[in-house]
């Protein structure tokens, strides 16, 4: 979504006039614990409080009268912003916000439309950061979730802009997204990504693949404008949390991935007598496909067919598992292989379904020994197998949402492990918030040094003019060095009291108090000036 060449028009109007449009009837509040904190078992245990969200209208407070907004067309966009009823946004600190849709809140048919391939993450970050109220962004898109993390100048405006962007890029109506999304802010957003990285928010508790996916967000984001200090710091800390939880708890002991849950589901649906003899077909030899093969081998399967675009990956898997007969077939033989299979696992990145009803209906029936049903276990998002295949009498389709059946067991043990992990997450969340709060002092440090430097340069020029033009370069340098030395020594104390890096016993609260005191004493900056600078930067960026 492009930013207008001036900070005005529809975007500014949405700030300044929304109060006039708001009415008791148009302000909708809903409380939905299922939406705000997912339906996973561990969530209910640790987060019993219900949070309220503003409905999709994202209206502003009624108390903001539109009569306060100046109507002069000669005012600049910034002046309009400052004088509008929406200037409450100027007093907000930039917020970390998560706009998410996960397996706990959103059916797969909606998630697959919103999914963003990894190759498109940099483009998505750039487009998100071009929105008027978004400073930083990251995308976490997996088979179980589609979550957008942003640093927003305004929570309400930021959420509205991101939701509209999601609708525009996916074709899913805003109302449909709002029906399924969950919104988390600041501390809650931090805790959420830490839980995600630790495997607490996964369908299968403690699964390891999500940590690799969080790492990939950082890898892809490196060097991308918009993957800024706050968001990159958040994801890097999440990686640390994920590693620590798996090291210090036994949460990963016996835990299974989505791929192994898919194998478990297939075995649950097959008669026990044919677990090792059923004809297995795996379509796709990527990360997920390779894990499916490994878990099939672990369950006693000694022969399977793997369909893939190229043989290289299949050969590598065959080298790794030399005691298993893995037969490679090219993609153009997929239907022929499916006709000879009892269970078909699909895990490809295809944007269109590989199997629809009309393709499956002509496949020969499977034997009674495997239950007379051909099983399609589809762990891809977007889906590789159409739901219409279920209409056939001799076929059944299961997708990632059906894996819940597999993970319903051992509830007590999973909750105990989750409690251990939550203690670590709580500790790490406090550390991250302290780090983020300490960033507030950085602008003050820069402003104070710049303030002192302006005084130094001005006084140095006065001194040099009094000394005349016949002074030597050595003397000039000596006087300049003297002035710099005096300033540096005077600033040393205040600078030390503005740094919160754990090198001394000073608390974050004391550091922030020092920052506010220096801001007041030297008039270094105000909330409005910070916002002005950010908005000016966005306007200038679009005018280049």
> Three-state SS string across 414-482, please?
HHHHHHHHHHHHHHHHHHHHHHHHHCCHHHHHHHHHHHHHHHHHHHHHHHHHHHCCCCCHHHHHHHHHH
Q: For residue 420, how many other CB atoms are within 10 A of its CB?
A: 13
Rounded to an integer, what distance in angstroms lies between the CA atom of residue 122 and that of residue 178? 24
Element (H, E) at 282: strand 280-283
Cα separation values, 93 from 63, 178, 356, 437, Å: 21, 24, 50, 10
In 3-state terms, what secondary structure has residue 510? helix
Rounded to an integer, what distance in angstroms lies between the CA atom of residue 193 and that of residue 97? 11
Q: Which of 93, 139, 59, 72 is nearest to 534 (CA)?
A: 93
Is 143 an annotated catalytic residue?
yes
User: What phi-psi label fits residue 16: left (phi over 0), alpha (psi between -120 and 50 degrees) or beta?
Assistant: alpha
Rounded to an integer, what distance in angstroms lies between the CA atom of residue 111 and that of residue 170? 10
DSSP string for residues in 337-380 = HHHT-SEEEE----SS-SB-HHHHTTSPPPPGGGTS-EEEEE--
In 3-state terms, what secondary structure has residue 518? helix
Element (H, E) at 97: strand 95-102
Rounded to an integer, what distance in angstroms lies between the CA atom of residue 343 and that of residue 369? 13
Burial 315-326 (b: 16+ CB within 10 A, else e): eebbeeeeebeb
What's the residue count for the chain? 544
Burial 444-453 (b: 16+ CB within 10 A, else e): bbebbeeebe
Q: Considering 129, 143, 301, 337, which one is annotated as catalytic?
A: 143
* Tokens linked to 122: 């940099």
* Tokens linked to 11: 């975007």
Q: At what angle do helices 411-438 and 508-522 cross, to 10 degrees?
A: 30
Cβ proximity of 146 and 381 under 8 Å: no
Q: Which residues make Cβ contacts (< 8 Å) with residue 486, sequence separation at least 6?
A: 456
Active site residues per annotation: 143
């Amino acid at each position: 979504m492009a930013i207008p060449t001036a900070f005005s028009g529809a975007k500014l109007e949405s700030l300044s006039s929304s109060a006039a449009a708001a009415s008791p009837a148009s302000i909708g509040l809903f409380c939905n614990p299922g939406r705000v904190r997912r339906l996973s078992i561990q969530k209910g245990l640790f987060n019993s409080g219900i949070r309220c969200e503003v409905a999709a209208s994202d209206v502003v407070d009624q108390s903001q009268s539109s009569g306060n907004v100046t109507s002069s067309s000669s005012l600049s966009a910034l002046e309009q912003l400052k004088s509008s009823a929406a200037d409450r946004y100027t007093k907000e600190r930039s917020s970390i916000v998560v706009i998410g849709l996960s397996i706990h809140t959103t059916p797969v048919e909606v998630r697959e439309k919103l999914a963003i391939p990894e190759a498109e993450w940099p483009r998505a970050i750039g487009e998100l950061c071009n929105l008027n109220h978004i400073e930083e962004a990251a995308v976490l898109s997996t088979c179980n979730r589609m979550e957008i993390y942003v640093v927003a100048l305004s929570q309400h405006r930021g959420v509205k802009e991101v939701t509209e962007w999601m609708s525009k890029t996916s074709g899913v109506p805003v109302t449909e997204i709002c029906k399924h999304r969950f919104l988390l802010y600041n501390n809650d957003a931090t805790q959420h990504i830490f839980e995600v990285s630790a495997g607490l928010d996964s369908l299968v508790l403690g699964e390891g693949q999500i940590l690799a996916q969080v790492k990939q967000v950082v890898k892809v984001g490196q060097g991308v404008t918009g993957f800024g200090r706050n968001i990159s710091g958040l994801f890097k800390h999440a990686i640390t949390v994920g590693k620590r939880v798996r090291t210090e708890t036994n949460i990963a002991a016996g835990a299974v991935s989505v791929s192994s849950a898919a194998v478990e589901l297939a075995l649950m649906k097959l008669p026990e007598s044919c677990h090792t003899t059923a004809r297995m077909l795996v379509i796709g030899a990527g990360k997920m496909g390779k894990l499916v093969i490994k878990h099939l081998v672990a369950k006693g399967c000694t022969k399977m067919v793997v369909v893939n675009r190229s043989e290289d990956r299949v050969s590598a898997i065959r080298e790794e598992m030399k005691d298993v007969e893995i037969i490679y077939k090219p993609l153009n033989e997929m239907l022929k292989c499916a006709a000879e299979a009892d269970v078909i696992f699909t895990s490809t990145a295809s944007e269109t379904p590989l199997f629809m009803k009309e393709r499956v209906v002509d496949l020969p029936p499977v034997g009674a020994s495997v239950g007379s049903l051909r099983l399609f276990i589809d762990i891809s998002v977007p889906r590789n197998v159409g739901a219409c295949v279920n209409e056939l009498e001799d076929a059944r389709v299961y997708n990632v949402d059906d894996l819940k059946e597999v993970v319903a067991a051992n509830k007590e043990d999973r909750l105990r492990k989750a409690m251990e992990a939550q203690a670590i997450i709580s500790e790490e969340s406090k550390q991250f918030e302290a780090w983020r709060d300490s960033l507030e002092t950085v602008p003050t440090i820069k402003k104070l040094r710049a303030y002192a430097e302006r005084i130094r340069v001005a006084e140095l020029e006065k001194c040099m003019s009094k000394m005349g033009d016949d002074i030597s370069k050595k003397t000039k340098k000596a006087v300049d060095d003297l002035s710099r030395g005096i300033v540096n020594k005077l600033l040393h104390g205040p600078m030390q009291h503005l740094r919160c890096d754990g090198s001394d016993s000073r608390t974050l609260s004391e550091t922030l108090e020092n920052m506010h005191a220096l801001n007041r004493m030297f008039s270094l900056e105000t909330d409005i000036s910070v916002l002005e600078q950010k908005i000016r930067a966005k306007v200038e960026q679009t005018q280049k």
